[in-house]
Amino acid sequence: MEFITVTPAARPQVALIQLNRPKELNALNLQLMQEVAAALKELCADDTVRVIVLTGSERAFAAGADIKQMAGRTAIDMLTIDQFSTWDQIRKTHKPLIAAVSGFALGGGCELAMTCDMIVASETAQFGQPEIRIGTMPGAGGTQRLTRALGKARAMEMVLTGQPISALEAERHGLVNRVVPVGQYLEEAFRLAASIAQMSPVAARLAKESVNRAFETHLDEGLHFERKNFYMTFASEDQKEGMAAFVEKRPADFKGR
Ligand code: CAA
């Protein structure tokens, strides 16, 4: 891995992926995104990992897709390169994925954070879609995810002016789970990850799928999907263990089966 570092046991049952292209403010070139997708695939296959944290540096989570790499491309180049196929792989990660964001989360950087399941932000974080300023527009889900989180008017303003919002405003709109002082954002993400890692991985996977379904379908279909997944948890040993532990007044020991 050239542009990321992967620590499978950063904390018990919690892995860390760190974007590591500091000179370019973690600009997301094709190779970096392929590395992230490959790392996620490996961590998903690793039974010792239950939750994954994705972070950048204090100065930049990521300043967007790599403008220098894209600048000269034609529309057909873009179509053929199909750069968003790696994004689709990331979106389909079945383990809980938490973005720990500090500094710039712009363009593809904002979109990558929003692709994660939750965002813990430092108070210096700024979220924006500045693509309009370089003659293009968001291409990795920004127009869809921002609009769902912020509503049409605020998302439209961000996408059409390129003006970013602060971590606190992002939190107010529910784009971000919590904002903490800059020295604490990674630890806070680990704390959140650790609390999820204690849960049944089977239930966490099915619950994540079900919450995501809320964004992809209408209510009837979403409720149906949720119910099927709820029933499915009763096929797991973890559900038997979790309910027995409750009745016996002891902590549950979830095995992921
Ligand atoms: N792509 C490539 N290189 C980038 C980059 C990007 N998105 N963002 C920053 N860099 C590079 C700069 O070119 C610079 O490199 P050099 O030292 O070799 O010149 C280095 O990172 C440091 O950047 P700055 O000197 O510009 O740092 P700054 O503190 O003055 O400004 C910034 C920081 C406001 C983030 C500014 O770098 C910036 O505006 N970056 C571009 C943000 C942007 O437009 N992102 C959207 C990209 S398009 C996209 O993401 C499409 C999509 O939907 C997938």
pLDDT digits (tens, 9 = 90+) for 11-64: 999 999 999 999 999 999 999 999 999 999 999 999 999 999 999 999 999 999
Fold of the domain spanning 4-197: 2-enoyl-CoA Hydratase; Chain A, domain 1 (3.90.226)
Q: How far apart are CA 175 and CA 169, in angstroms?
A: 9
Evaluate: CB of 106 within 6 angstroms of ligand 1.
yes
End-to-end CA distance of the chain: 31
What confidence category does residue 177 fall into, taking pLDDT thresholds of 50, 70 and 90?
A: very high
Tell me if 103 CB under 6 Å of ligand 1: no
Q: Is the pLDDT of residue 215 over 90?
A: no
pLDDT at 216: 85
Question: Looking at the domain that runs over 201-247, which CATH code has it been given?
Answer: 1.10.12.10
> How far is it, in rounded angstroms, from Cα 9 to Cα 199?
17
pLDDT in tens, 56-86: 999 999 999 999 999 999 999 999 999 899 9
Confidence of residue 235 (pLDDT cuts 50, 70, 90): very high
For residue 59, give the ligand 1 atom closest to its CA: 29
Percent of the chain with pLDDT over 90: 97
The interface predicted TM-score of the complex, written ipTM, equals: 0.98
- What local confidence, expressed as pLDDT, does residue 127 receive? 98
Where, residue-wise, is CATH 1.10.12.10 in the chain?
A: 201-247
pTM equals 0.96
Give CATH 3.90.226.10 domain extents, the chain. 4-197
- Secondary structure of residue 72 in the 3-state scheme: coil
Ligand 1 pocket residue status of 171, Cβ below 6 Å: no
**CB contact set of 4 (below 8 Å; sequence gap of 6+):** 17, 18, 19, 20, 32, 35, 36, 39
